[in-house]
Amino acid sequence: MTHIGHYRATIELLKGSQHASTALWIAPPTKMDAQQLTKENHNQAFSAMGARIEIPSCALCMGHQAQVKENAVVISTSIRNFPNRLRKNTKVLLASTGFAAIRAKPSYIATKEEYQQYTQILQKNK
């Protein structure tokens, strides 16, 4: 995710979720963003959903920090996508923040219709 508005939109889309149905990692790009997430209580909400909150840096996007299970499929909001970035035989699909947030709810990739339904939620709450 690239700016604080993406985190706010993700919280809005996941509102009411007890727990993300997939692994959800939150990696603020800067300390300033991390502090703002804490100030707005978003870190607490993400943690309650079972999200893993990373230290602020570019390491996760670069593939230097954490690794996923072998053969995993990852939906990422980063700008990097190359073979085996997060582990051997993994697939990394790049997506918008909204699509990635929607993906954290069901255990499958959302359809076009589901995506449009969730984006209407964001439009109402701009």
Residue 62 pLDDT exceeds 70: no
**Amino acid letter, 5:** G
Q: What pLDDT is stored for residue 67 in this prediction? A: 75
- State percent of the chain over pLDDT 70: 78
Fold classified for 4-124: Aconitase; domain 3 (3.30.499)
**pLDDT tens digits along 66-84:** 677 888 887 777 777 777 7
The overall average pLDDT reported for the chain is 77
Dig out the tokens for 125 from the structure: 């709450």
| Among 63, 55, 99, CA closest to 80 | 63
What pLDDT was estimated at residue 40? Answer: 92
Tell me: the pLDDT tens digits for 98-119?
777 777 665 666 677 877 877 7
